[in-house]
Amino acid sequence: MQEWLNFGPHLRIIITTMSDWKQRLGMVYSTNPDFEYQTDTEPEAETLPPEKQNLKVWLDRKQRGGKVVTLIKGFVGTEEDCAALGRMLKSRCGVGGSVKDGEIIVQGDHRDRVVELLIAAGYKCKKAGG
């Protein structure tokens, strides 16, 4: 929401709410009184049904201090649905993990178990990597 405060013919100040301010962090000043800032928000992708997902299950040791993690890549959908799938996999394997940048990270070498769980849930998946 925006409001203009007029202090004479040459001075006009715009007041914005905090959420508007955060969305336009790159914009500093505009002399155009009719300027409307446009945000570049991409619409979040709809979640594909499980049978149309093409998931790949990897083992990874890079940048983790030698610890092994199971990575699930290729999920197409909202962050909430990805987080829900990650919670289900972590709870069924009995380990911790996280969901970052569309990848599900499950702590430990659980590649075979994760593939079984995903296939049982109706997802199309396969092992990837060496």
Report helix, strand or coil for 48: coil
What is the mean predicted confidence (pLDDT) over 94-100?
94
Q: Which residue has the tokens 């030698």?
A: 66
Q: Other C-beta atoms within 10 Å of 75: how many?
A: 23
CA–CA dist 98, 90 (Å, integer): 9
Domain edges within the chain: 1-41, 50-127
Q: For the domain with range 50-127, which CATH number is right: 3.40.50.2300, 3.40.190.10, 3.30.780.10, 3.30.70.260? A: 3.30.780.10
Q: Which residue has the tokens 């909202």?
A: 78
Q: Pairing between strand 54-60 and 124-127? A: parallel
> What are 100's two structure tokens?
């970052």
93, 108 contact by CB (below 8 A):
yes
Phi, psi of 64 (to 5 degrees): -130, 20
What is this structure's pTM?
0.66
What is the mean predicted confidence (pLDDT) over 66-81?
92
Residue range 107-130, pLDDT digits in tens: 999 999 999 999 999 999 999 886
Residue range 41-50, pLDDT digits in tens: 666 678 888 8
What pLDDT was estimated at residue 129?
82
What pLDDT was estimated at residue 82?
93
Residue 11 pLDDT exceeds 60: yes
Angle 111-120/79-93 helices, nearest 10 degrees?
Answer: 120
